[in-house]
Structure formats: C-alpha cells, structure tokens
Amino acid sequence: MKRILCIILALGMLTGTMAFAVAEEDDDIQFSDEELREMQEEEDQAENYVEAEVKGEVYHEMTREDFNANSPALYKAKMRSDYNGVIYSEKWKSEEDITPKMRLMDARGKKVDILYVGLIWFIVRRDNVIGYVRRQQIAKGDIETVDPVNTPPFNVQKHTYIAKTATTCHVRKSMTPSKGDGDDGNNWVILKPGTELSIWKFYKGWAMVNYWREYGYIDPNELTDLVPVSPTDEELFPDSPIAAYTSYYKMTQNETNLNRIHNIKTGCGYISQVLQPGERLDANKTMGPYRPGKGYKQAGVLTAGTSKLGYGGGTCQVSSTLYNALIQLPDIEINHRRPHGGNGAAYLPIHCDAAVGNPELNLIFTNRYDFPIKVLGTSNDDGALLMRIYRYHGEEE
C-alpha cells in the first residue's frame, strides 16, 4: 500500500494536481495494473530522469571536450550542499553505471562556471576541471548570468517558429524518416492535422522540438503556416508572436488522463486574454476556482495521503508552459512562481515549471511593457500545448 501511495504521489507531482485544494471528492480511485505501471514509469522519470534508448541519428549536445580553461562561462552558479555534488567525466543513465574514475571532483556547495546547458546535463568548470552535472545538482536560487547583454537569462529557450500540422504529424525520436503511416514505434507522439506548435530550430532539414526531457524531430513536409517568432519584443510581422513555447503531454487513454487532457484545454481557454500595460495576471484567479462549474473534470489528486478524484488536474502544465514563454520577454515581471517539488514536472526541463493550485503555488506576472500583450494558449487534445504571446493591436486580430 505504501508503494502505491508513493506512485500516486509521483503522479500528482507530474500532473501538477497534488497542489490543489480539492473542492469536491469521490471515493478512492481504483487504478488498474496498467495504470500503476505507467505511473511507476513516470515516477522514475521525475525522480531520476533516464534518457530514452533511441535508434537513428539524433541531435548531439556539446561535450566537455568542446571546452577548455579559457572558455567563457554563461552563468555562475552554486552546487547544492544537500545533494550529490560530484562533477563527472561522463554522462550516466543510472547511478549503477557510475565508476570511481568518472568522479572528477566533489564540488558540493561550491561555486562553478556553467559553460553549457543541456536538457538534463550542464557542463561546468571548477578549478579548471571540466565535467558534467545534472541540472538538479545546481542550487536553483543562486545562478548569475555572466553577460546579460548577449546571454539569455537562465532557463530561457527561445523558440524560433510557430507552425500548424498540415496532415497527421509524427514527432519522431530520431531523424529517421517514417514509412507508410509512420506509426513504427519511433514516435514520441503523433499529432492530428491542424495542431499548432512551436519549433525550437531547424537542424539537418528537420524541425526540432522539446519532448519532455528529450528532443523530437518533425518532417517539415508535415507542417504548414510557418511563422517566425520575433527574436526580440519587436514583432517581425503583425501575425508573428514575440514569444512561444510548446510542451507535450501523455496520451494514455485511461479516464483520469483523458480528463487531464480536457482540463488542459479548459485552462488554456481561461488564461488566453489581453493584458494592458501595468496589468497583472493571477493564474489561480484566472483559471480557478478548479470546480466543475468552471468546466473542469476529475483527475487524480493526493489529499491527506489518500488518492482522491479532484477537479482541475492538468492546469499546472498550462501555467508552466506559459511561464516558459513569459521568461523570454524582459519586460514581463514574474511576481510569484513556485516549481513543483523534487525534480519538477518531467514534461519540462528541471527548474522550468510553475505550479498552481493554492496561494503558495501560483503564477502571477505583470505586463511592464508600454503596449498591451495577448496571451494565447491552444491544445488540440493530441499531445501538444502551445503558448504564444503577441503585441496586441486590437480586435482585428
């Protein structure tokens, strides 16, 4: 029973539902063996995210051999004093893979230079020792940008295009073309026609996206309506957003997850609005209260150590995806934001989520621009959640 409760707790962390003060409850959820296995897999991903085994050519992040003692640092940071403080010579998939030779230095509680930021691993330098640390090894509140003019703030990943799926669209695990209908097991997710998403960049003829803590690859022939995202807060064209970000959610076909998918779309509808200069948005007040009267369905939550059905599960992914678009804009002031516990929500890189559900767990921000902005969230119930921010020009949009 204790193990089941632990698994349910992990599910709550991933979906963002454990934060909610449940307005209405039913009897305990009875999970099937298949659902329990899926939750166990997600628990493993949240606590010690393991890179998936992928076949075919993929995008390679930089390695420590790409840097030296004179390489410029992007950020100054501090290793956590309450966690694994080792700098490693190699990346590892599980702690069982670690050998003594891989341990270059114990830097627990020490300052390091961050030379490179990957989805799971940093490349850092301390006393001319260069190696790898996992993102959760860095203290969250002690990161300084070395060159703020030329380096984006920590955790900012600017997506460069938005697009719409022209046909059935395969988010591939590698740059291996699909055959036939493309449902060959090498897909992270298959999107329906008409789904809107953002693209990080193009690489070797593929549109690259972030899928959880991995990369995904889309054949551009499966996309249409490609629009650039402005690299600054000055729009390129009237229909170009000044920031965009897409996260992805699981398409498991059990009732609790289908309700979560419904709640994501419902939350997007509420949070999509125009903010005037100086106006503040409170995500809990905007999307909540999380009740059936607001259109929410019941998804798994944890209340007093017991699994219950609660309304609004999934809206944390809405606020978290929006947060990743907001931090791309220098004159958006984040007034309040808290990540989920542990390693955060696994559908985003570590340190990149924004939980909602009670006064402590909330996303609040203010538009400090001298022009109105429009927040627009969309989801097509097929695995992708897109958040965009535009300069707002009036009702003609």
Q: In this structure, how many other beta carbons lie within 10 angstroms of the beta carbon of residue 84?
A: 15
Cα–Cα distance, 238 to 161 (Å, whole number): 14
Cβ 348 vs Cβ 337: under 8 Å = no
Better-predicted residue by pLDDT, 7 or 298: 298
Where in the sequence is the domain holding 80, given as residue range(s)?
73-145
Kindly state the tokens that stand for 329.
């804009």
Report the residue count for the chain.
Answer: 397
Same domain, 110 and 192: no
Q: How confident is the model at residue 145, as a pLDDT?
A: 95
pTM: 0.86
Kindly state whether residues 296 and 202 are assigned to the same domain. Answer: yes
Same domain, residue pair 121 and 258: no
Query: What band does 396 get if pLDDT is binned at 50, 70 and 90?
Result: low
Quote the number of domains for the chain. 2
Query: In the listed set 125, 145, 165, which residue is the last one of a domain according to the structure?
Result: 145
| Burial tier of 235 (Cβ tally within 10 Å: 0-12, 13-18, 19+) | middle
Rg (CA), the chain: 21
pLDDT tens figures, 103-157: 999 999 999 999 999 999 999 999 999 999 999 899 877 799 999 989 999 989 9
User: Does 240 lie in the same domain as 157?
Assistant: yes
CATH number at residue 93: 2.30.30
Whether 218 has a pLDDT exceeding 50, the answer reads yes
Per-residue model confidence as pLDDT tens digits over 73-91: 999 999 999 888 999 999 9
* 26 has a pLDDT exceeding 90: no
pLDDT digits (tens, 9 = 90+) for 269-303: 999 999 999 999 999 999 999 999 999 998 864 33
Last residue of a domain, one of 121, 145, 169: 145
